[in-house]
Amino acid sequence: MAKLNGDALGKIDEIVARHRNQAGPCIEMLHEVQNELGYIPFEAMEKIAEATGTSVAEVYGVVMFYSQFTTEPKGKHVINVCLGTACYVKGAQQLVDRVEKMTGAAVNKTSADGLFSLDATRCLGACGLAPVCIIDGKVYGNALMGNSFTNELRKIILAERGAKA
Amino acid sequence: MRERITTIEQLNTVKEAEKKYLHLRLQGNIELTDDDQLFNILVCSGTGCTAGESAKLLERLEELVEEHEMEDKVRIIKTGCFGLCQKGPIVAIFPDRVFYTHVKPQDADRIIQEHVIGGNIIRDMQMFDIDKETGGKIYDIEKIGFYEKQHRIALRNCGKINPENIYEYIGVSGYQALYKCLKTMSPQEVIDVVKASGLRGRGGAGFPTGVKWQFEKNQPGHEKYVICNADEGDPGAFMDRSILEGDPHAILEGMAIMAYAVGAHHGYIYIRAEYPIAVSRLRIAIAEAEELGFLGKDIFGSGFDFDLEIRLGAGAFVCGEETALIASIEGKRGMPSPKPPFPAVAGVWGKPTSINNVETIANIAMILRKGAEWYSAIGMGKSKGTKVFALGGKINNTGLVEIPMGTTLREIIYDIGGGCPGGKKFKAVQTGGPSGGCLTEKELDTPITYENLIAAGSMMGSGGMIVLDEDNCMVDVARFYMEFICDESCGKCTPCRVGTKRLLEMLTKITDGEGTMEMLDEMEELCNEIKDTALCGLGQTAPNPILSTLRYFRDEYEAHILEKRCPAHVCKNLLTYSINPTKCRACSICARNCPAEAITGKPGKEVYKIDSTKCIKCGLCLSNCRFGAVERH
């Protein structure tokens, strides 16, 4: 495992110190670490365990339990496909298959070149726009109709990987 | 620092001052005064409309108002969800009562130039439901079909006030109920009103709210807690999110009243992290309420202290279950624990705790202000008041609807929702999410109450209502829910951990065309066992989607098993795509769009063919072909 740089370790210390005296702070700390670093490194779990007086195994158990926490850095571009019921009955599975094929990233994984992560998310509550996809934070509603979502993704793939997309 | 409000006089002064601005847009309050020179431009800023760039639109409108130096004349108001997500982004203009739909950021200039300055309704922009009687001139928003059958109590302020401005909430009689409780009622009197109102938990189970509060109040000790359950995990339900985004102070006020009634001084709002807009509005609301003295020490000089904290979920459906939610607030894995002890006895940090759902709490201030009799007069039988449903799926007017209990499903789906789009045939409606079931045409005239929905094989649930049409496969829908449950099962008890997995395996075999008739009986038996033996509500209700589809759509299961056919053309392994050579014009659009490069041919010369070994059955060729040449079997 790559070593974390001092900058990241400093940020973790700061977060842990801020929540140390709060009741039941573990999840709050994990949220902030992930917001800051994009994922939760092992070192953060060690520091949180120490501050909260539990074992690293217990903190790891919390990280593994919640689907939003990840212990691996995400790809450069993150594509979320909503798999809520409204999106699903309007064809979200077809979108997942399409993105998988286009980017080479399996569901909830990152492509081998580290460029794309494909996340199947729980209901985003934008059911009026179903099916919904998000590329790097920008929301595409009715993503199966027309080509705006597919074209955008194609454009990014072309820009990143060159000719063959 | 703004002035703290400690007396009813101060509260009323603010209310009167705000009324001047609010009267333009509040129902039945249209008195023309000097203020009719004013314009209120309401821009929906719920999640749906924000995804449609309504934030940019809002920004542009504000810029233009500043450019034209019209700040004293035009108020741009950021509101919560109007409920009409399908037509978003939505802009409503008062006093003209014009309701523009599908508004883009670049339309801002026209709205200001032509409508506000020019005084003309922009006819070529999309508007909602042109009212034929008035020739499409001026609409009464409350009277358009979508709202006519609704009765908005929990959603009363959504889409009407700015959720980030506490004064607007005070202007619509906000925090008056809290004052009344703290200064004129004993905690027991508050509980008695809630009991008499007949309000039941809107999270799905329908437990009487007043009774729950009484349990906690009766517990000894001074350290007690209240929790607002905003972990709206049911996919397809978004009413809690909309209330939090559109009217966060109603939740704060409701929670303060609840805390006073049960004797708590600290509260948590547990909200899922998937709702960033709601979280940020809640944070703003809490800061404003603390500043004005509605939260914190000695509220209204009554000696009552109450503070609130937000806790974020991290993506675990089971955390909507109250004991799991408590574990998660404590920073642990969100696993449920056996009841008893109930949270009212031993909840968060082992202390007495009441947990209520967002929608339940949104009703509290209104009930205390208007009285138990007013509330209990609405509804039917043992189900009093209203219920909010998130209408989604194959329906024309996707969005939020709040109806009195006792309304029929048909009224919701056809009169409010406008039926299935594209002339497709209605097949079923799914209520209650992964814990509920599917109801068919035959049950559409059932009045909605907690009891009726359970008798029909579904449940109220939190209020997701997904409409399915002839293109949806019921076996696939059951499989979808089971996959969700398998993913979300916490693994603590065996029936849920292993049982749901076995169910999913059987369903997958059936949708893959490898099912047997024996599986149907096995599934049914296993479903009933899981129902009886699982530890928490998640497991106990998990088999419902299978049981209800088996009950109403057994023929579809049989078609998959006996004929290896998916009647709705959804289950991929039972489908093939091909191109009809007599219809193909060799335009190449299918091949260009195929992500699998499975289609070959020569543009303009040779008709195209699909290589079934490469085809991933995504259906892109079918949706792109302009000549109807792609066929699905």
CA A106 to chain centre: 13
Residue B22 lies in a domain: no
* Nearest CB to A27; choose among B331, B399, B618: B331
List, in sequence order, the alpha helices (H) in chain A.
6-19, 26-37, 42-52, 56-65, 85-89, 92-103, 148-161
Q: How many other CB atoms are found less than 10 A from the CB of residue A70? A: 17
| Cβ within 8 Å of residue B218, ≥6 positions away | none
Q: What is the pLDDT of residues B101-132, one digit of tens each?
A: 889 999 999 999 998 888 888 888 877 654 44
Residue B458 lies in a domain: yes
Residue numbers in B near A125 (CB within 8 A):
47, 232, 238, 241, 274-275
Q: Which of B449, B469, B489 is the last residue in one of the domains?
A: B469
Element (H or E) spanning B241, and its range? helix B239-246
Looking at the structure, do residues B129 and B214 belong to the same domain, yes or no?
no
Fold annotation for A77-161: Glutaredoxin (3.40.30)
State how far the Cα of B279 lies from the Cα of A125, in Å rounded to an integer.
14
Do A6-65 and A77-161 fold alike per CATH?
no
* Å between A102 CA and nearest CA of chain B: 6
Is B549 at the interface with chain A, CB within 8 A?
Answer: no
B472 touches chain A (CB under 8 A): yes
Strands, E assignment, B217-306: 225-230, 266-271
* pLDDT for B264 beyond 60: yes
Q: Does A60 touch chain B (CB under 8 A)?
A: no
Length of chain A: 165
Closest-CA distance, A157 to chain B, in angstroms, reads 13
CB pair distance less than 8 Å for A128 and B333: no
Taking the C-alpha atoms of residue B43 and residue B79, their distance in angstroms, rounded to an integer, is 6
The pTM (predicted TM-score) of the whole model is 0.90
Contacts of A83 in chain B (CB under 8 A): 235
For domain A6-65, the question of CATH label 1.10.10 is answered with: yes
Q: Is residue B264 in a domain? A: yes
Q: Are both B216 and B318 inside the same structural domain?
A: yes
Provide the number of structural domains found in chain B. 5
Q: Which residues contact B63 (CB under 8 A, 6 or more apart)?
A: none
Which of B198-229 are b and which e, b meaning 16 or more Cβ less than 10 Å from the residue's Cβ? bbbbbbbbbebbbebbbbbbebeeeebbbbbb
Cα nearest neighbour of B466 on chain A: A86
Q: Looking at the complex, does the CB of residue B237 fall below 8 Å from at least one CB of chain A?
A: yes
- Contacts with B399 from chain A: Cβ below 8 Å: 128
Which residues make beta-bridge pairs with B99? B92
Task: Give the mean pLDDT of B246-255.
Answer: 97
B159 in a domain, yes or no?
no
Claim to verify: residue B542 and residue B430 sit in the same structural domain: no
B56 contacts B44 by C-beta, under 8 angstroms:
no
- Same domain? B335 vs B219: yes
- Same domain? For B274 and B416 the reply is no
Dihedrals φ, ψ of A18, to 5°?
-65, -35
Nearest chain A residue (CA) to B274 = A124
Per-residue pLDDT tens over the stretch B163-181: 999 999 999 999 999 999 9
- From the list B85, B468, B481, which residue is nearest A127 (CB)? B85
Q: Distance between CA B57 and CA B76 in Å, rounded?
A: 11
CATH code: domain of residue B463: 3.10.20.600
Closest by Cβ to B314, choosing from A66, A86, A88: A66
pLDDT tens column, A53-76: 999 999 999 999 998 899 988 899
Mutation for testing the B interface, residue in A79, A102, A123, A133 having most B CBs under 10 Å: A123
Residues of chain B in contact with residue A127, where contact means CB-CB under 8 angstroms, are: 48, 85, 236, 238, 390, 392, 398
- The domain boundary residue, chosen from B469, B500, B533: B469
Q: Stretch B372-394: mean pLDDT, rounded?
A: 95
Please name the member of B51, B332, B433 whose beta carbon is closest to the beta carbon of A129.
Answer: B51
pLDDT at B32: 47
Q: What secondary structure does DSSP assign to B40-54, as a single string? A: EEEEE-SHHHHHTTH
> For residue B144, what pLDDT is reported?
65
Work out the pLDDT band at A84, boundaries 50, 70, 90. confident
> Pick from B469, B499, B523: which residue ends a domain?
B469
- Check which CATH number belongs to the domain holding B138 and give it: 3.40.30.10
Q: What is the mean pLDDT of chain A?
A: 89
Give the mean pLDDT of chain B: 91
Rounded to the nearest 5 percent, the helix, strand and coil shares of chain B are 45, 15, 40
Q: How confident is the model at residue A165 (pLDDT cuts 50, 70, 90)?
A: very low
Tell me if B18 is assigned to some domain.
Answer: no
Number of Cβ pairs closer than 8 Å across A and B?
Answer: 146
Q: What 3 state SS string does B522-545 have?
A: HHHHHHHHHHHHCCCHHHHHCCHH
Instruction: Give the pLDDT score at B355.
Output: 96
CATH code for position B213: 3.40.50.11540
What's B552's domain CATH number? Answer: 1.20.1440.230
Task: Tell me what pLDDT residue A163 has.
Answer: 57
Rounded Cα distance between B265 and B224, Å, is: 7
Residues B303 and B442 in one domain: no
3-state secondary structure B334-400: CCCCCCCCCCCCCCHHHCCEEEEEHHHHHHHHHHHHHCHHHHHCCEECCEECEEEEEEEECCCCCEE
pLDDT of residue B140: 56
Any domain includes B57: yes
ipTM attached to this prediction: 0.86
The pLDDT of residue B159? 87
**A30 in contact with chain B, both atoms CB, cutoff 8 A:** yes
Does some domain include residue B567?
no
Domain map of chain A by residue range? 6-65, 77-161
Residue with tokens 């675990």, as numbered in its chain: B316
Residue B5: inside a domain: no
Domain extent at residue B499: 474-562
Q: How far is A2 from chain B (nearest CA, A)?
A: 26
